[in-house]
Chains A and B, each alone.
Chain A
Amino acid sequence: MGIDSTHRRFSWKGALARHSSALIFLFLFACFSLLSGRFLRIGNVVNILEQSSLLAVVAIGITFPIITGGIDLSVGSLVALCGALAAGLVTGHAVPVPLAIAMVLALGALLGGINGFIIVAGRFQPFVVTLATMAITRGATLVYTQGRPISGIPASFTFLGDRVAGIPVSLLILLIILILFQGLLRFTPFGAHLYALGGNEETARLAGISVHWIKIGAYSISGGMAALGGIILTARLWSAQPQAAVGLELQTIAAAVLGGVSLAGGSGGLAGTLLGALLMGTLANGLNLLGISSYLQQVIIGAIFIAAVMLDLWTKERHGESSQGALS
Chain B
Amino acid sequence: MKRTVLCILVTALMGGLVLPAAAAGRGEKEADSTAPVLGLSVSTLNNMFFVTLRDGAQEAARELGVQLLVVDSQDDPTREASNIQDLLQRGVSALLINPTDSDAIAPSVHRANQSGVPVFTIDRGAHGGTVVSHIASDNVAGGSLAAEYLLQKIGGTGEIAELQGIPGTSAARDRGAGFNSVVSGSAHVRLVAAQTANFNRTEGLDVFQNILQAQTNLKGVFAHNDEMILGAIQAAEAAGRARDMIFVGFDAVEDALTAVADGKLHATVAQKPAEMGRLGVITALNYLAGKPVESSIPVDLQLVTAENVDHF
Which A residues contact B (CB, under 8 angstroms)?
24, 27-28, 31-32, 35-36, 38, 41, 43-44, 47, 50-51, 54, 146-149, 151, 158, 161, 233, 236-239, 241-247, 281, 284-285, 287-296, 299-300, 303-304, 307, 310-311, 314-315, 317-318
Choose from A237, A289, A293 the contact partner of B78 (Cβ within 8 Å): A237
Main secondary structure of the interface of B (DSSP, over half): helix
A294 CA / B128 CA spacing, docked (Å): 27
Question: In this complex, what residue of B is CB-closest to A145?
Answer: B168
Interface set, chain B 86-138, CB cutoff 8 A to A: 86-87, 89-91, 101-104, 106-107, 127-128
Chain B residues, Cβ within 8 Å of A310: 6, 10
The answer to whether B76 has its CB under 8 Å from any CB of chain A is yes
| Mask of B63-103 contacts with A, CB within 8 angstroms, 1/0 | 00000011110111111011101110111000000000111
Segment with Cβ contacts to A, from B21-29, B252-260, B268-276: B21-29
Which residues of the partner chain A approach B26 to less than 8 Å between Cβ atoms?
A: 35-36, 290-291
**A31 touches which of B13, B18, B25, B104 (Cβ 8 Å):** B18
B115 to chain A: closest CB distance in Å?
A: 10
Question: Could you tell me which residues of chain B, from 5 to 59, have a CB within 8 Å of some CB in chain A?
Answer: 6-7, 10-11, 13-15, 17-19, 21-26, 28-29, 45
A-B contact pairs, 30 of them (CB 8 A): A35-B23, A36-B22, A38-B89, A41-B89, A147-B166, A151-B106, A233-B78, A236-B81, A237-B81, A237-B104, A238-B128, A242-B168, A245-B76, A246-B76, A284-B86, A285-B86, A288-B71, A288-B82, A288-B83, A289-B90, A290-B21, A291-B26, A291-B69, A291-B90, A294-B71, A296-B21, A304-B17, A304-B18, A307-B10, A314-B10
Nearest CB of A to B74, in Å: 8
The smallest beta-carbon distance between B208 and chain A, in angstroms, is 18
A80 to chain B, nearest CB (A): 11
Chain B residues within an 8 Å CB radius of A47: 82, 85-86, 89
A318's nearest neighbour on chain B, judged by CB, is B3
- Which residues does chain B contribute within 8 Å of A246, judged by CB atoms? 75-76
B167 interface residue per 8 A CB criterion: yes
Closest 7 CB pairs of A and B: A294-B72, A147-B167, A239-B103, A148-B168, A288-B86, A290-B25, A291-B25
Q: Which residues on B sit within 8 Å (CB–CB) of A32?
A: 22
10 more A-B contacts (CB under 8 A) besides A38-B90, A241-B104, A289-B90? A151-B103, A236-B81, A237-B107, A239-B106, A281-B82, A288-B90, A291-B28, A292-B25, A294-B70, A296-B21
In whole angstroms, what is the CA distance A321 to B90 when docked? 43
Residues from chain A with a CB closer than 8 A to the CB of B106 are 151, 237-239
User: Quick check: B14 and A27 within 8 Å, CB to CB?
Assistant: yes
What is the chain A residue whose CB lies nearest that of B42? A294
**Distance in Å from the Cβ of A91 to the closest Cβ of chain B?**
12
Inter-subunit contact A51/B82 (CB<8 Å): yes
Tell me how far the C-beta of A265 lies from the nearest C-beta in chain B, rounded to whole angstroms: 25
Q: Does B144 contact A (CB under 8 A)?
A: no
Chain B, interface size category, equals 35 or more
Chain B residues within an 8 Å CB radius of A281: 82
Q: Does B283 have its Cβ within 8 Å of any Cβ on chain A?
A: no
For residue A242, which residues in chain B have a CB less than 8 angstroms away from its CB? 168
- Report the minimal beta-carbon distance from A325 to chain B, rounded to whole angstroms: 18
Q: Does chain A have a CB within 8 A of B305?
A: no
Give the shortest distance, in Å, between A178 (CB) and chain B (any CB).
Answer: 20
Please name all residues of chain A whose beta carbon is closer than 8 Å to the beta carbon of B139 when the two chains form the complex.
none
Nearest-neighbour CB distance to chain A for B78, whole angstroms, equals 6
Q: How far is the CB of A87 from chain B (nearest CB, A)?
A: 10
A293 to chain B minimum Cβ distance, whole angstroms, is: 7
B3 & A317 in contact (Cβ 8 Å cutoff): yes
Task: State the Cβ distance, B202 to closest chain A Cβ, in Å.
Answer: 15
